[in-house]
Amino acid sequence: MRIVQFRLISFFLLLVAFLPAFSQDHASAPTQPAGSESATAAPEAATLSAPPAGSFNEVIDRVVQKEHLFVAQMRHMRPMVETYLQNLKVDNNGNATPIKDEYFLGRLDMSDGPEDTSFVGQPGFGHRMLNRLTGVYAMHFLPLGFAQMVVLDTEFQKKYYDFSFVRREFLGEVRCLVIDVRPKSDAPPGRFLGRIWVEDQDYNVVRFNGTYYPHPKTSFYLHFDSWRLNLRPGTWLPAYIYSEESDLKTGFGRPLHFKAQTRLWGYDLKGLNKNEEFTQILVDAPESAVKDQSDAVADASPVMAERMWQRQAEDNALERMQTVGLLAPPGEVDKILQTVVNNLLVTNNLDLQSDVRCRVLLTSPLESFTIGHTIVVSRGLLDVLPDEASLAMVLAHELSHIVLGHTFDTKLAFNDRMFFPDENTFQRLDFKRNSADEEAADTKALELLKNSPYKDKLGSAGLFLKALQERAPDLPNLIRPHLGNSLAQGKSMRMSALLASAPQLEPQRTDQIAALPLGGRIKLDPWNDQVELAKAKPAALTSAREKMPFEITPFFPYLSRISGGANEKVAQTGPASK
């Protein structure tokens, strides 16, 4: 296979022969009308004020042009990219359950072909990551292969493809043209094969679903479903990629079965962390209004100075993590967490003489920790917690570290310690506690919970721990913390005293929800990193299989269009004539 500009070879799972999981029984594509080739169209050729396309051929011209603009735009962006993968095995009841997982986190850089800076110790997304599945054979995953599914084709040109109009369809509130795309027989290898959804106002591809074709002799492309969101007026950027294979023949006598989620965020980190311009600072107060405060405010006392020093270290760490793109800016979810913390403080008559803050870590692995008087909980952990009592259990443990006055290394108060590459964040920032502090926090947390509004609802928290304990051996990367302590260490569980009082875990009961699937609660804005509670309505379960605790599921975001003030244009396009 040839290597195109963005090195699509990384879509492969190398060293293993993969079998494509799609039918070759496609309807023949219509003969494509002659049209202008837009492969070399200048970016300024596409304009939002252009009238709606009047023919299918014009639609394809616009789509090709927009996709070239998209690739050019992505070269200037460096979003965070996270892939979490679960290998599955079908049990005796025909249900596929996770037996192994992998995790990748880095920053995607497409300025000179896809490169990455890895945050979690891999040698780079261009290298192979060993994933041992059964002990009989080994699979090598290339993490960047998942991230590269943000690109439909770096050489997306009409001369390489046949296009067939399927129908119009709404994705959320965005009406789309659904188009099947097939490589021509003489097209170079590594071309997209599948279906695209094109929003019918400006002809941006907002979703594409399929694989790449033809496959080389030694490896196969994965199937994927890639989604883009309208993050700025006229700008659609990659946010979610779901990949799944159920019966890929590996050449070792066993099919490969896995699911993977890839998320991208942090597109506007510069805007998110931009300080107020110096020129915006206005001092217009008359000289008479400036008062000498020296007689009213004394120097800080030793105790206050110590607290201020600790807060400076705390603020430095939080600011650096937000700048990197690992921490969500303050928002509505923080206030929800803060309410639960306040419930614990008030009902236990605690006055800490300093505000306790809550923040959200944007990554999937399940972890929580404290930085001074700030409690940090990961997005993944918030996703899978089943109810408020379980959330209170997590927050009570971290709050106990603060109540007990467990020490915080204030070396981070020196700003020079924040001068390190983004990819070294997990090595340079460490908020783990020793085992004695963890045990003391567990004991104190139980005391806080027994005096709280959640005291009669802790059975669900214990059920969550039981479910986590059951899945932990098979999902080590999901429960592996990167900044704090693990929720499960071997057979030892955090807050293990709640396990004994919890009801029996009954996986076959549809009315017993011990844990939610990943992505079930928190919605992340990929542009500004703000998080909010997902607004999806809960669905009535029809079988126990639909509970899917800690599992990966496909993405189906509700697409909406950000208005830029221009009049909306709708394509008046029908199927191409045959």
What pLDDT, on a 0 to 100 scale, did the predictor assign at position 145? 59
Helix, strand, coil percentages for the chain (3-state, nearest 5): 30, 25, 45
Residue type, 246: S
Locate the domains of the chain by residue range: 11-22+34-44+52-267, 303-547
Confirm if 498 and 461 have CB atoms less than 8 A apart. yes
Cα–Cα nearest to 202, from 62, 41, 61, 38: 62
Give me 429's structure tokens.
């920032």
What pLDDT, on a 0 to 100 scale, did the predictor assign at position 570? 42
Residue type, 292: D
Question: What 8-state DSSP symbol labels residue 143?
Answer: H
Question: What 8-state DSSP symbol labels residue 478?
Answer: T
Confirm if 552 and 262 have CB atoms less than 8 A apart. no
| pLDDT tens, residue order, the chain (578 aa) | 333 333 333 333 332 322 233 233 333 333 333 333 333 333 333 444 467 777 999 999 999 999 999 999 998 899 999 999 999 988 887 788 999 999 999 888 887 655 555 667 654 333 333 232 222 223 344 444 566 788 888 889 999 999 999 999 999 999 999 999 999 999 988 889 999 999 999 999 999 999 988 766 666 678 999 999 999 998 999 999 999 988 777 655 567 889 999 999 999 877 655 554 544 555 555 555 555 555 556 788 898 899 899 999 999 999 999 999 999 999 999 999 999 999 999 999 998 878 999 999 999 999 999 999 999 999 999 999 999 999 999 999 999 999 999 988 999 999 999 998 888 899 899 999 999 999 999 999 999 999 999 999 999 999 999 999 999 999 999 999 999 999 987 667 899 899 888 999 998 999 999 999 999 899 999 999 999 999 878 888 999 899 999 999 999 999 999 886 544 444 443 444 43
Give me 563's structure tokens.
């208005």
Give me 24's structure tokens.
């070759």
Give me 253's structure tokens.
């006598």
What pLDDT, on a 0 to 100 scale, did the predictor assign at position 368? 97
DSSP string, 401-455: HHHTT----GGGGSGGGG-S-GGGHHHH------HHHHHHHHHHHHHHHHTSTTT
What pLDDT, on a 0 to 100 scale, did the predictor assign at position 369? 97
Confirm if 339 and 282 have CB atoms less than 8 A apart. no
Per DSSP, the three-state class of 526 is coil
**Single pTM value for the model:** 0.83
Q: How far apart are the first and last CA of the chain?
A: 33
Residue 293: phi and psi, rounded to 5, are -95, 0
What pLDDT, on a 0 to 100 scale, did the predictor assign at position 361? 98
